Amino acid sequence: MQVVNLESVLRYIETTNIEGAFVETGTYTGGASAYAILALLRLRKHKAPREYYGFDSFEGRHAFPFTKRWRTRQHLGHWQEHVGD
C-alpha cells in the first residue's frame, strides 16, 4: 500500500509540473528511496533528473510533548533551543 501511495504522490508532482527537489525523511533501509528514484526517472522521461535527498537519524524520532494547549511559540522556542538561530 505504501508503494501505491508513493507512486500516486510522484505522479501528481510530475503531472502538475511541481518543480524542486524531492526530500524523504526517515529513510530507514532506503527501499522507498530506491523505488522513488526509479519511479521519478520513469515518470520524467526526457526531463532532467530531479534532485533527491534522503535523511534518517538512525535513532528514531524524538518524542515531542504535544498537548491540547501546545502553542506555536513554545514549539519555536524548543526548536531554537536545540537547533539555534
Query: pLDDT of 25-74, one tens digit each?
Result: 888 888 999 999 999 999 998 899 899 999 988 877 766 665 545 455 55
Domains identified in the chain, total number: 1
SS3 per-residue string spanning 44-72 = HCCCCCCCEEEECCCCCCCCCCCCCCCCH
Residue type, 61: R
Q: Which three cell numbers stand for residue 20?
A: 524542486
Domain that holds residue 62: 2-83
- pLDDT range class, residue 77, cuts 50, 70, 90: low
